[in-house]
Amino acid sequence: MKQPKWVLSTMLAASMCVPAAGFAASQAAPGSGPAVQSQHYSRTAKKRHRPVRRSKKKSAAIIGGSALGGAAIGGLAAGKKGAAIGALAGGGGGYVYDRKTQKKPVVPK
């Protein structure tokens, strides 16, 4: 049985409105009753959290430490040449890690 187009479009429009009505109802504070705006209603802006950037000294420690670890593993595996390759690989990995996590917000303890 083929349904008319207006039935399908009406069902689609109704299904699009249902989540919006549920979202608007969930915004009111529980137990506050109907939302009434007063003339003295003021809204304060939220403070923006600006993550502190990592210092160059800490970045150098991260990159250097990972290069040292790579050199140690490479040296154990393949001697001097392995240590050089491991240092390059570790330094590259440390650099990528440092850049990816540089602006990550720090959660206070």
Q: What does residue 4 show for φ and ψ, rounded to 5 degrees?
A: -65, 155
CB 62, CB 97: distance < 8 Å:
yes
Q: Which residue has the higher pLDDT, 104 or 5?
A: 104
Other C-beta atoms lying within 10 Å of the C-beta of residue 61: 14
- Gap between the Cα atoms of 84 and 95, Å rounded: 16
What is the mean pLDDT of the segment spanning 58-87? 94
pLDDT digits (tens, 9 = 90+) for 8-37: 666 667 666 565 544 455 555 555 555 555
Q: Quote the pLDDT of residue 53.
A: 83
Size of the chain, expressed as the number of residues it contains: 109
Other C-beta atoms lying within 10 Å of the C-beta of residue 31: 5
What is the mean pLDDT of the segment spanning 77-106? 91
CB 99, CB 58: distance < 8 Å:
no
Q: Quote the pLDDT of residue 89.
A: 96
Q: Quote the pLDDT of residue 21.
A: 47
Q: Is the pTM for the entire model greater than 0.75?
A: no
